[in-house]
Structure 1
Amino acid sequence: MAKHPVEQSPRVDYETFDFSKISPYLSKYGIVDEKGRYLPWYKLKWRVPSKEAQNIWYAVKFLRDQIKKGIGLFDKNGNEFSFCIPDLLEPKLHKIVQFGTSKMTAIADPKASINIQENYLVSSLLMEEAITSAQLEGAATTRADAKKMLEEELTPSTPDERMILNNYMLLRLADKRRKEPLTRDLLLEFHSIATHGVSENDNVPGEFRCSNDIYIGNDDNSLYYPPNYKELETRLELLCDFANKEHNGENSNKFIPPVIKAIILHFMLGYEHAFRDGNGRTARAIFYWFMLKNGYDIFEYISISKIIKENHKDYGMSYLSVQKDYGDLTYFIDFNISVILNAVDELQEYLRVKTQEFYDVSNILDESKYKFKFNFIQKDLIKKGIKEPGHIFTIKSIMNIYGVSENTARKLLRDLEKMKLFLSIKEGRTTHYIAPADLKNKL
């Protein structure tokens, strides 16, 4: 959290302002500081001479105002939301665009179809995002239990598990609805899934709040009260219009890079706080929806909630900085660009580790009597079995993880049992397949 209290930034009235007060600072200061940081007032004033702080701030704001872009949406006090793209942000955006529109598979195994590898990767990482997003909201279920529930389609046994399942279904819905426009009904559908069975604060899934007794506080006791609920219908209609409008720079429209627009939608859903509970989950789902809608398919693989969770205080402060600086969205955009780039780095490391694990097992198999007998999925199951002796596999989990049919999943597991690599036990009408502790020796 901030070292100093977050206070409203001084505002420039250009109609009456004496520009001679700031002219000495216009060449010395810029829209970012010497380290490239887009500082809010409450941070800038401690880094400059105290007697000159306010005029320096006015100079910085003047420079920012020359390049800012308004988005046609307003806060509850009538300030238009706007943003800047500082020069140092340009290469970061370029990296995201390059990475975001690329294609990716899990492991380059010529025996595995691209479809199977992508299903495997999507399903694994969607589960990770669903779990972390729930943990960001306070869920305390272990990752192992949560993954088992999702893989085997088990009924949630606790509210925390229900929240994780809801988040998983949210991400699936974002993909399913990617070609549709943003509407009031779609927002309600996202929210209904986000809060099904886990509502707090008298929330009703799929319904907007109908009172103003909602506020958001932080460790500094700074409070934020969302816009009046009576204005929600109108404000959300304008937000949907903004989401659906083409901001491609053609026909006199402003150009807004899709990733920045997705981040703005994320912010606005939180700002409007249209629901009594589940606003954060719904906002993150809309972020994914917009990225997928604009061809950034690789965002199916990227988990932003893990990075936000690790930096949740900075996340909250970026929200607050926008409100304390009359709707300057750059603070929130800058933070989230860093979140995305960190998530990209984590994905690349995840792929590196998974690829190395896969080839380690492949090398073991190449030296065993089972050489050439396994396909990609079976190699991956053996890899998991070696890493986690006693791991239980079910037909349902294989179907969900790799996107294969029931018959294919059953055959894959039965073949491993026939080779005496996996053991099987019956539990009612369900057959479980277990990786024995000596699996590596059996190979």
Structure 2
Amino acid sequence: MAKPKVERAPTFELGSMDFPQIQKYLPLYDLTDSQGRYLHWNQLKWRVPRDEAQNIWFAIKFQRFMQLKEIDLKDEQGESFSYCTPNSIEARLHQVIKTAGGTVGIVAGAAASMQIQAKFLVSSLIMEEAISSAQLEGAATTREVAKKMLEEERPPVNEDERMILNNFFLLKKAEKSCKESLTVDLILEFHRIATLGTTENNVVPGQFRDADDIYVEDGNGGIAHQPPKYHLIPERLQMLCDFANNDHSGVNGRDFIAPVVKAIILHFMLGFEHPFRDGNGRTARALFYWFMLKNEYDLFKYISISKLLKDSPKEYGLAYLYTETDQNDLTYFIDFQLDIIIKAFDELKKYLEEKTDEFYQVVAMLEKSKFSPLLNFVQKDVIKKANKSPGRYFSVKEIASDYGIADNSARTYLNKLAEYKLLLPTKDGRTTLYIAPSDLLQRLV
């Protein structure tokens, strides 16, 4: 992914500061501007008098420096990464933690009905994230085709579909392994799953790059980011694993890093290290999900950050570059990612509300029907879909995948609907398919 070009910020060094020059600006400028924005030099210099810009910048940097918190990670030159949490970030961090600690039903505002749908939502929304993550990396397959492939469990027919299927398995792996400690081998396994069967940039699944010819473009043909040397990758990723596994709970005198912030840092650092020829972004996002689930923020199973990153590629690139061009200040990336997470929760809330409304519409429609007491949630939800799309085909594998149930259960539910003549069974070779009739509403009476 190309990143836009960014001018490196003037370097702040406490020992060489001319305090009389910046003193008058200290009461006027804070870590953020009046709107709570954590501005980079590239953003600030156009908003202040040009001849005073650098002194104003140093006044802001001084106040940021007083709150910066170093972490146990360094760049190739030995300079530490750090971050701070101004009021605007603290507020959003509180909002994310409060929401992420809830349940699907609470977010939807309809606890009872949405808890019933939880298994279905996990499967459905993991599909959405898998598709969006692949599209963010350039996959051109449409959402409709991709989702049908995942639902029907058919083999991918091209590399774009393979990337989406890999992402689906990758997110499942992140969930399955969330109780494990992070190891270099687990990162390699994430990458192997993400890139299996793909050829972009001559990637070798589950293997580090073996040259320094990989870099990130700035959008103008230049180099925005040159990752650390390839021979340092095993050592540097071991340090990343140590950081992930270290106790940052703040208990018994330990350092405290909020789990959400730590997950965002892991996301950034995997992208910064760029240890693979391709698939770094997909692996980084899986690492983010892995750490959030490890810390029991289970609501992250239901959100898609890649969909929103795909819609904001420039801002995503800038968040990396602002950190890299301002003395490894991770606050820019944390700030951006918190916004993305909050937007993802907002989209989840909207999605859940729509699903709840649709479900109650079906319930209302079925209340007067003789079939109402005979149908379970899955069957009612299938009827909802059938009513919206006359002529649609349903398969056992699709229903099993969508609702997280066994094939035998899915087959039983569909056969009952066929027995009630609410779906029409047909054969495609040896496979039974179930068609939504055009007169479904009349059949329900």
C-alpha spacing 1:113/1:320, structure 2 compared with 1 (3 Å)? closer
Helix, strand or coil at the partner of 2:191: helix
Alignment of 1:313-332 (within 5 A): 313-332=314-333
Maintained 8 Å contact 2:5/2:219: no
Pairing 1:421–2:415 present:
no
Which whole-Å deviations, capped at 9, do the CAs of 1:10-63 have from their partners, x for residues lacking one?
112322322111101111001101111100011111111100100111111110
Rounded to whole Å, the distance in 2 between the matches of 1:96 and 1:34 is: 22
Helix, strand or coil at the partner of 2:202: coil
Residue identity in the other structure for 2:246: K
Maintained 8 Å contact 2:162/2:197: yes
Q: 1:54 aligns to what?
A: 54
Which whole-Å deviations, capped at 9, do the CAs of 1:167-193 have from their partners, x for residues lacking one?
000110011000001101000000000
Q: 1:165 aligns to what?
A: 165
Residue identity in the other structure for 1:162: R
Rounded to whole Å, the distance in 1 between the matches of 2:16 and 2:132 is: 50
| Structure with the higher helix share, 1 or 2 | 2
Rounded to whole Å, the distance in 1 between the matches of 2:104 and 2:434 is: 30
Q: 2:298 aligns to what?
A: 297
What is the deviation of 1:367? 1.9
What is the deviation of 1:108? 5.8
Which whole-Å deviations, capped at 9, do the CAs of 1:251-270 have from their partners, x for residues lacking one?
33221100000000000000
Give the % identical residues: 54
Rounded to whole Å, the distance in 1 between the matches of 2:7 and 2:357 is: 50
Q: What are structure 1's unaligned runs of at least 5 residues?
A: none
Which whole-Å deviations, capped at 9, do the CAs of 1:63-116 have from their partners, x for residues lacking one?
000001111211123221100101111121111111112122589697x895x6
Helix, strand or coil at the partner of 1:71: strand
Rounded to whole Å, the distance in 2 between the matches of 1:49 and 1:32 is: 17
Which whole-Å deviations, capped at 9, do the CAs of 1:293-314 have from their partners, x for residues lacking one?
0010010001101111111110
Helix, strand or coil at the partner of 2:17: coil
Q: 1:336 aligns to what?
A: 337
Q: 2:194 aligns to what?
A: 194
Which whole-Å deviations, capped at 9, do the CAs of 1:115-157 have from their partners, x for residues lacking one?
x622111001001111111111111112122111111211111
Maintained 8 Å contact 1:107/1:117: no
Which whole-Å deviations, capped at 9, do the CAs of 1:418-439 have from their partners, x for residues lacking one?
1111111111211011112222
Moved more, 395-404 or 210-219: 395-404
Maintained 8 Å contact 1:199/1:205: no
Rounded to whole Å, the distance in 2 between the matches of 1:395 and 1:122 is: 18
Which whole-Å deviations, capped at 9, do the CAs of 1:221-271 have from their partners, x for residues lacking one?
452110001111111111100000011112332211000000000000000
Moved more, 275-284 or 29-38: 29-38
Q: 1:364 aligns to what?
A: 365
Residue identity in the other structure for 2:359: F
RMSD: 1.8
Q: 1:45 aligns to what?
A: 45
Rounded to whole Å, the distance in 2 between the matches of 1:51 and 1:406 is: 71
Alignment of 1:28-427 (within 5 A): 28-105=28-105, 114=115, 117-223=117-223, 224-427=225-428
Residue identity in the other structure for 2:191: H
Moved more, 44-53 or 143-152: 143-152
* Number of residue-to-residue matches in the alignment: 440
Q: 1:441 aligns to what?
A: 442
Rounded to whole Å, the distance in 2 between the matches of 1:166 and 1:435 is: 31
C-alpha spacing 1:65/1:108, structure 2 compared with 1 (3 Å)? closer
Q: 1:18 aligns to what?
A: 18
Rounded to whole Å, the distance in 2 between the matches of 1:86 and 1:316 is: 22
Maintained 8 Å contact 1:109/1:376: no
Rounded to whole Å, the distance in 1 between the matches of 2:203 and 2:39 is: 36
What is the TM-score normalised by the length of structure 1?
Answer: 0.96
Rounded to whole Å, the distance in 2 between the matches of 1:66 and 1:276 is: 38
What is the deviation of 1:272? 0.1
What is the deviation of 1:389? 1.7
Maintained 8 Å contact 2:228/2:273: yes
Helix, strand or coil at the partner of 1:15: helix
Maintained 8 Å contact 2:122/2:301: yes
Rounded to whole Å, the distance in 2 between the matches of 1:49 and 1:399 is: 63
Helix, strand or coil at the partner of 1:67: coil
Rounded to whole Å, the distance in 2 between the matches of 1:174 and 1:35 is: 37
Rounded to whole Å, the distance in 1 between the matches of 2:94 and 2:110 is: 26
Residue identity in the other structure for 2:413: L
What is the deviation of 1:158? 1.3
Helix, strand or coil at the partner of 2:248: coil
Helix, strand or coil at the partner of 2:410: helix
Rounded to whole Å, the distance in 2 between the matches of 1:344 and 1:113 is: 15
Maintained 8 Å contact 2:423/2:435: yes
Maintained 8 Å contact 1:5/1:42: no
Rounded to whole Å, the distance in 1 between the matches of 2:110 and 2:258 is: 32
Moved more, 101-110 or 137-146: 101-110
Helix, strand or coil at the partner of 2:46: coil
Rounded to whole Å, the distance in 2 between the matches of 1:280 and 1:130 is: 12
Residue identity in the other structure for 1:210: D
Residue identity in the other structure for 1:237: Q
Rounded to whole Å, the distance in 1 between the matches of 2:200 and 2:335 is: 31
Runs (4+) off by over 6 Å: none
What is the TM-score normalised by the length of structure 2?
Answer: 0.95
